[in-house]
Amino acid sequence: MTADSKDLNRTLFRDGFYYFLSKVIPGLMGFLSVLVFVRLLGVEQYGRYAVIFAFVMAWASALSGWLSQGILRFQSQWHEPDAASFFRSTMLGTVLSAIAGFVFLGTAMLVLGIEKGWSLLVPLILLCGLIAYIVAIARFQASLQSRKVLWLEITRAVLCFLIPVALLVLTRTRDYRLLLLGIAMGYWLPLASWFLFRERPRSNRATRLYKQWAESRRVLGEIWRFGWPVAVWLLCQQGLLVSDRYFLQRFSGYADAGVYASMYDVIVRSFSLIFMPVTLAIHPLVMNLWNSGNRADALRAIRSGVIYQLLLFIPIAVGLFSLSPLMTRLVLGRQNPVATALVLPLTMGGFLWQVCLLSHKPLELLCQTKRMLGGIVLALAINIGGNWLLVPRYGYRAAAYLTIASASAYLLMLSILTPLEELRKSAAASPTVVQGRAQCDSVEPAMTSSS
């Protein structure tokens, strides 16, 4: 093993360890939250919460995704004193995304009849907190500051459990809107603390306000061209959750949606506890390696991440499947054979989507994000069509198996859409990096037109 390979593995294990710690307490708190919230609210009210939260998360992922993914892809190309310009640009982008979210989400919820009146403010407050939080986490990841991610995630997880529980217990009200409000406060409070006490980047030269605005627009334009397909990709990915829960509540009622959502949340969060630290450590490391010219190491890091996921999957799947009756009783408070049957397909589906998050990294490196978008659109179409046809007959079992089908379709599309020859050429070439400017590698005309 070469010295570079040892350094790569050492960095990967160090950041992976911190990201694992950043998921241990959030994962445990998330697991505990489902158990407590279901008992405090009941399955029907939890189902209402699950539908609205999935809807808000979908919009938050889309409206922040272009910016957070652009930060992860390009921040390592910016250095002092130009880092201050990049920071201002991302702050402006966060504000613009929050304003757009207020308009789009508010309009969508009113049109669909999901929420109305004063209670509409609760999901809007949560949406803005999610957007700001996702962008803040991306900045720390891009800077390889895994310790700060650890602190922020632990604080957020604890507050998102304690505040909702306090609101529900003190008011003695079984209302899903109190749960959403408490979670919104759990996202906003650590952000407020970080914003007040953070170290602000400083520029060495005085710049007029209009020049700052022009520079911010230029930087955001570069990030937008890379990130908008990723934002739509994230909207489609979260749309998978919306599709499951929307069709379940439409055809089977909020109670069945609550049963499925509680089982899904527990199993998927269990998987994120194990697999997401690998993904979180790989992503910024790969982008930094690629931008600095160590492109063979970047591709090697992706392969290593997929191997680690495969090695982790088998024992975790066996453990979850063998304990599925106990898990169902623990989550729902009673035995439910149909809900127990969800454990295996949700476990497999959760694993496949974790593999997807690493398998499409080569397309991100080549800035061919439109190809990723094409794959996820197909996966979402399969999920929506399958839920529409099968949920009325098979209930939430159909939704669970469609998780596997959609992930498999996306992996198949990645195998077709990833240009391996172009990837090898880019890995062998020198990087295109311009100081203070976010750039993608140039691709051959045929690749550009086809994307």
pLDDT tens digits, 204-234? 444 444 456 666 777 787 788 777 887 888 8
* DSSP secondary structure letters along 288-326: HHHHTT-HHHHHHHHHHHHHHHHHHHHHHHHHHHHTHHH
Closest to 128 (Cα-Cα) out of 149, 161, 100, 156: 100
Asked, for residue 242, whether it belongs to a domain, the answer is yes
pLDDT band at 13 (very low <50, low <70, confident <90, very high): low
* Whether the Cβ atoms of residue 85 and residue 216 lie closer than 8 Å to each other: yes
Domain span including residue 92: 3-194+209-442
Q: What is the model's pLDDT at position 184?
A: 93
Closest to 248 (Cα-Cα) out of 357, 118, 397, 366: 397
pLDDT tens digits, 336-370? 888 888 888 998 888 898 888 888 888 888 878 78
Q: How many structural domains compose the chain?
A: 1
Asked, for residue 115, whether it belongs to a domain, the answer is yes
Question: Which residues lie closer than 8 Å to 333 by C-beta, 6 or more apart?
Answer: 38, 39
Helix (H, G, I), strand (E, B) or coil at 218: helix
Distance CA 350, CA 346 (A): 6
Q: Is 79 a residue whose pLDDT tops 80?
A: no
CB hemisphere CA count around 432 (13 angstroms): 11
Asked, for residue 389, whether it belongs to a domain, the answer is yes
* Whether the Cβ atoms of residue 243 and residue 380 lie closer than 8 Å to each other: yes
Q: What is the model's pLDDT at position 389?
A: 94
Question: How high does pLDDT run on average in the chain?
Answer: 79
Q: What is the model's pLDDT at position 422?
A: 76
Provide the 10 A C-beta neighbour count for residue 360. Answer: 25
Q: What is the dihedral of CA 400, 406, 247, 187, to 10 degrees?
A: 90
Asked, for residue 249, whether it belongs to a domain, the answer is yes
Asked, for residue 424, whether it belongs to a domain, the answer is yes
Helix (H, G, I), strand (E, B) or coil at 434: strand
Asked, for residue 200, whether it belongs to a domain, the answer is no
Asked, for residue 76, whether it belongs to a domain, the answer is yes
Closest to 297 (Cα-Cα) out of 13, 6, 75: 6
Backbone angles phi, psi at 113, to 5 degrees: 75, 20
Note the maximum CA span of the chain. 67
Asked, for residue 159, whether it belongs to a domain, the answer is yes
- Could you identify the residue written with the tokens 């051959």? 444
Distance CA 9, CA 13 (A): 6
